[in-house]
């Protein structure tokens, strides 16, 4: 039986590897070799990765790919994507190409507001708390001056601080609901620093406020933290074309357009479908978010909350047919940064941003929204025409062949063979065995 380890974080990297390999793997020597094989040969790069997080023992690779030919607001982009799923980049590229000759993607920023809250407990009269808040509000601002100075110089900062009464939900529960403009930064550190200062000022000022009773003076701070729910940090991306231009799927154009609209309508009202529909959107979004060094967990959490904002989980994309024009669009909250965090640290993130022509956070929001829309278009288009398995299994073929231990020449032959044959686990196995027995 394994025993707990003391002071694991203090062990050297090599000692950590020895410990994990010896205690938790069947073949410690092989495991150790594997972990070391994934180290970067450039020790500077490796050190950088080691220091991103605690207890690093190796690197975990994801493919870094490019989906080219995205025409966004009349500018051409090649979009970097970090993702493991076989068909995602191919689908994105296919959608980009489809819309390239139909006017491309049009996007618009609808808002850039970030949110943070100080949650606290106040046992007393709400009116007196409101009066106190009104009086100390200027100090809430002025006490953060050292934190906000450089952000303000660039045109950002704290946009608003509001007192909210939630005591009908939890006894004595109030909050400072604060909004921020963080420009090209995702802003988590800036926001959290401001919130912690607000909390400090709130507590200190309350303890000596003459308008409070002794009980009211004892405001209890629960926590100050940014919110990843950013419904007003919103971007819209759209494609549209005459129905007559929707050719290329071996089904009549009008029928295709109607099926697309129907598929989206289903995802709007049926949460089981909406979750998978939106998962397809996140295939595109997460891949670009990850490649550009942004926090995909924050994006995921905020996007899904937004998809459920009307009380039932629903589609993030919309489709319509009006006057013989097919329109397909997305509105999605994306709090992204192009400065700070990993953006200037991770060499591949820096390169991804360079490939995107060093976008501002607003531009990156638009690019990411487009990646999500394109991915959804490609997925729903396959679903309502050929089904997804044909394309998906084709893309998965190499994974299957690698798993079955096929040689390079066997892979070449079989990729060619499966251009005209249906890919299933059984058919690939059979075809490989046939070649190997010859
Ligand atoms: C698979 O990763 C994503 C899809 O299931 C999305 C969808 O169903 O719309 C194809």
- Kindly write down the DSSP assignment for every residue of 137-199, as one continuous string: HHHHHHTTHHHHHHHHHTT-EEEEEEEEE-TTTSTTEEEEEEEEE-TTB--HHHHHHHHHHHH
Asked if residues 316 and 331 have their Cβ atoms less than 8 Å apart, the reply is yes
Q: Which atom of ligand 1 is nearest to the CA of 388?
A: 10
Least confident piece of the model among 62-71, 101-110, 341-350: 341-350
pLDDT at 390 over 80: no
pLDDT at 248 over 80: no
Q: Average pLDDT of 137-145? A: 98
* Average pLDDT of the chain to the nearest whole number: 96
Q: How confident is the model at residue 301 (pLDDT cuts 50, 70, 90)?
A: very high
pLDDT at 391 over 80: no
Q: Average pLDDT of 56-74? A: 98
361-374 pLDDT per residue, tens: 999 999 999 999 99
**Residue 282 CA, ligand 1 centroid: distance in Å:** 10
Q: Average pLDDT of 129-140? A: 98
Asked if residues 181 and 148 have their Cβ atoms less than 8 Å apart, the reply is no
What are the residue numbers of the active site? 85, 279, 295, 392
**Residue 89 CA, ligand 1 centroid: distance in Å:** 13
pLDDT score for 388: 79
Asked if residues 12 and 33 have their Cβ atoms less than 8 Å apart, the reply is no
**Residue 283 CA, ligand 1 centroid: distance in Å:** 8
Q: Average pLDDT of 54-68? A: 97
Q: How confident is the model at residue 4 (pLDDT cuts 50, 70, 90)?
A: very high
* Pairing between β-strand 325-333 and β-strand 234-242 as defined by DSSP bridges: antiparallel
CA nearest ligand 1 atom 6, residue: 280
Nearest to 231 by CA among 296, 175, 302, 295: 302
**Residue 97 CA, ligand 1 centroid: distance in Å:** 20
Q: Average pLDDT of 26-38? A: 97
CA atoms within 13 A on the CB side of 265: 8
pLDDT score for 396: 85
**Residue 331 CA, ligand 1 centroid: distance in Å:** 19
pLDDT at 411 over 80: yes
Percent of the chain surpassing pLDDT 70? 100
Element (H, E) at 241: strand 234-242
pLDDT score for 344: 87
Q: How confident is the model at residue 320 (pLDDT cuts 50, 70, 90)?
A: very high
Residues within 6 Å of ligand 1 by CB:
85, 276-277, 279-280, 283, 379-380, 383, 388
Nearest to 165 by CA among 124, 116, 225, 137: 124
pLDDT score for 1: 74
pLDDT score for 389: 77
pLDDT score for 259: 96
pLDDT at 36 over 90: yes
Percent of the chain surpassing pLDDT 90? 92
CA nearest ligand 1 atom 3, residue: 280
CA nearest ligand 1 atom 2, residue: 280
Nearest to 300 by CA among 272, 333, 347: 333
pLDDT score for 249: 74
72-91 pLDDT per residue, tens: 999 999 999 999 998 999 99
Mutation probe of ligand 1 site: the residue of 383, 385, 390 with most atoms within 8 A of C-beta: 383
167-176 pLDDT per residue, tens: 999 999 999 9
Q: Average pLDDT of 234-243? A: 98
Instruction: Report the predicted TM-score, pTM, of the whole model to 2 decimal places.
Output: 0.93
Element (H, E) at 97: helix 88-100
Q: Average pLDDT of 316-344? A: 96
Mutation probe of ligand 1 site: the residue of 280, 286, 389, 391 with most atoms within 8 A of C-beta: 280
Q: How confident is the model at residue 195 (pLDDT cuts 50, 70, 90)?
A: very high
CA nearest ligand 1 atom 10, residue: 379
Mutation probe of ligand 1 site: the residue of 388, 390, 391 with most atoms within 8 A of C-beta: 388
d(CA 28, CA 145): 54
pLDDT score for 392: 74
Q: Average pLDDT of 154-177? A: 98
CA nearest ligand 1 atom 1, residue: 280
pLDDT at 192 over 80: yes
pLDDT score for 395: 79
């Amino acid at each position: 039986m394994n025993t707990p380890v003391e002071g694991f974080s203090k062990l050297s990297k090599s000692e950590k590897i020895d410990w994990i390999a010896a205690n938790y793997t069947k073949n410690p020597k092989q495991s150790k070799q594997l972990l070391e094989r994934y180290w970067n040969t450039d020790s500077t790069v490796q050190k950088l990765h080691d220091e991103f997080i605690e207890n690093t023992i190796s690197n975990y690779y994801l493919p870094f790919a490019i989906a080219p030919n995205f025409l966004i607001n009349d500018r051409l982009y090649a979009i970097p994507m970090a993702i493991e799923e076989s068909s995602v980049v191919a689908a994105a590229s296919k959608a980009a190409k489809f819309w390239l000759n139909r006017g491309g993607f049009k996007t618009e920023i609808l808002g850039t507001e970030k949110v943070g809250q100080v949650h606290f407990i106040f046992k007393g009269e709400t009116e007196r708390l409101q009066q106190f808040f009104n009086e100390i509000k200027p100090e809430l601002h002025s006490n953060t001056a050292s934190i906000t100075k450089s952000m303000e110089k660039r045109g950002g900062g704290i946009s608003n601080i509001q007192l909210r009464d939630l005591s009908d939900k939890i006894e004595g529960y109030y909050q400072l609901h604060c909004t921020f403009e963080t420009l090209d930064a995702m802003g988590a550190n800036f926001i959290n620093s401001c919130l912690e200062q607000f909390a400090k000022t709130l507590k200190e000022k309350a303890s000596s406020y003459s308008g409070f009773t002794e009980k009211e003076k004892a405001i209890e701070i629960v926590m100050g933290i940014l919110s990843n729910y950013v419904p007003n940090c919103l971007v819209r991306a759209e494609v549209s074309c005459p129905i007559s231009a929707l050719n290329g799927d071996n089904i009549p154009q009008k029928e295709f357009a109607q099926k697309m609209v129907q598929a989206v309508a289903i995802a709007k009202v049926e949460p089981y479908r909406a979750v998978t529909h939106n998962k397809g959107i996140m295939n595109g979004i997460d891949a670009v978010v990850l490649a550009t060094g942004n926090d995909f967990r924050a994006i995921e959490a905020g996007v899904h909350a937004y998809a459920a904002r009307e009380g039932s989980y629903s589609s993030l994309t919309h489709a319509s047919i009006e006057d013989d024009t097919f329109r397909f669009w997305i509105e999605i909250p994306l709090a992204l940064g192009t400065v700070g965090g990993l953006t200037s640290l991770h060499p591949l993130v820096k390169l991804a941003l360079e490939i995107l022509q060093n976008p501002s956070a607003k531009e990156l929001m638009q690019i990411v929204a487009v990646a999500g829309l394109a991915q959804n278009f490609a997925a729903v288009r396959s679903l309502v025409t050929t089904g997804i398995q044909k394309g998906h299994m084709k893309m998965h073929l190499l994974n299957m062949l690698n798993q079955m231990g096929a040689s390079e020449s066997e892979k070449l032959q079989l990729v060619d063979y499966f251009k005209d044959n249906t890919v299933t686990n059984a058919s690939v196995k059979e075809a490989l065995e046939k070649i190997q027995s010859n």
